[in-house]
């Protein structure tokens, strides 16, 4: 499963990916964290552009602070464009804790693994918060 990592979470993704590796999950599952830079997506892209890009490329968007205001806010985009086949948006509840709290990071990893395993049940849900 591919995750499109919001530009402000690139360091967090390194910690999460490292923990997935330490726990052996990457030997069992194909998980990839992809940055905006890798796919030539501007960090100035609005939420509608980012959400559509993720959906068109079958990526789960991982974010922490996408806006909830305006006609192109992530919340509005999901309400307007989400279908039963849409991949969810994963929102980290407390991104700072991913960096400094191993227990919290482990809970985030556990939830991400659950989402990957249960992807068929997660489609169409809109936003999923982790941990």
Extract the tokens encoding 71: 């006609």
Are 50 and 44 in contact by the 8 Å Cβ rule? The answer is no
Question: CB burial class (10 A; 0-12, 13-18, 19+) of residue 89?
Answer: buried
Reading the block at residue 23, the tokens are 């726990």
Contact 77, 54 (CB under 8 A): no
pLDDT in tens, 76-91: 999 999 999 999 999 9
Q: What's the predicted TM-score (pTM) here? A: 0.94
Domain 2-130, CATH number (from 3.30.379, 1.25.10, 3.40.50, 1.10.3470):
3.40.50
pLDDT tens across 7-28, in order?
999 999 999 999 999 999 999 9
3 state SS of 127 = strand
Compute the distance between CA of residue 68 and CA of residue 61 in angstroms, rounded to an integer.
15
* pLDDT value at residue 69: 76
Domain ranges of the chain: 2-130
Mean pLDDT of 106-130: 97
- Could you tell me what percent of the chain has a pLDDT over 90? 92
């Amino acid at each position: 499963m591919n995750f499109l990592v919001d530009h402000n979470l690139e360091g967090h993704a390194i910690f999460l990916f490292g923990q997935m590796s330490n726990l052996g999950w990457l030997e069992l599952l194909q998980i990839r964290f992809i940055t905006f830079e890798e796919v030539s997506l501007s960090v100035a892209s609005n939420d509608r552009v980012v959400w559509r890009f993720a959906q068109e490329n079958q990526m789960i968007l991982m974010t922490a602070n996408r806006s909830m205001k305006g006609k192109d806010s992530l919340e509005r985009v999901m309400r307007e464009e989400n279908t039963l086949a849409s991949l969810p948006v994963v929102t980290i509840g407390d991104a700072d804790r991913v960096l400094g709290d191993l227990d919290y990071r482990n809970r985030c990893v556990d939830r991400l693994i659950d989402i990957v395993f249960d992807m068929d049940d997660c489609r169409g849900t809109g936003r999923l918060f982790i941990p």
